Copies of this chain bind each other. A is one copy, B any other.
């Protein structure tokens, strides 16, 4: 099967060092938080051109809530990072889950059109019943 990208491009940005996402102690249980970030931008690892999109993070907090100022710093760090759409969404999910250990979490990325084609990526996490 031919593939349009090199192996290096396929994993670009996945192990880049990014700022920590801080948290604060959650005071309630059993509710949902949704955060929308319409000003996401990163760089295409193939063309070097910027990509633009909206990131939505939806989660049920357990002991911790995401602190929005550090989340903003974390998102800003993608600005000059070369990384594919699919990897952006999955890496944000991983980093959010590590930071606040939620009961469940969903990350959606809606990206603006390129060549008449637009993309939407959705990834989800569910804490296993035996703990995380």
A116 shortest CB reach to chain B, Å: 4
Of the residues B1, B20, B41, contact of A2 by C-beta under 8 Å: B20
A37: which B residues are within 8 A, CB to CB? 116-117
* Copies per complex of this chain: 10
User: Once the chains are docked, how many angstroms separate the CA of A93 from the CA of B129?
Assistant: 27
User: Once the chains are docked, how many angstroms separate the CA of A4 from the CA of B86?
Assistant: 29
A73 shortest CB reach to chain B, Å: 10
Known A-B contacts A68-B119, A115-B72; the reply to A2 vs B31 at CB < 8 A is no
Using CB atoms, name the residue of chain B closest to A37. Answer: B117
Of the residues B33, B36, B90, B117, contact of A71 by C-beta under 8 Å: B117
Known A-B contacts A41-B41, A79-B50, A117-B36; the reply to A87 vs B31 at CB < 8 A is no
The interface of chain A, by Cβ under 8 A from chain B, is: 1-5, 7, 9-11, 14, 20, 22-28, 30-39, 41, 49-50, 52, 61, 64-65, 67-72, 76, 79-80, 86-87, 89-90, 99, 112-124
A49: which B residues are within 8 A, CB to CB? 76, 115
A132 shortest CB reach to chain B, Å: 13
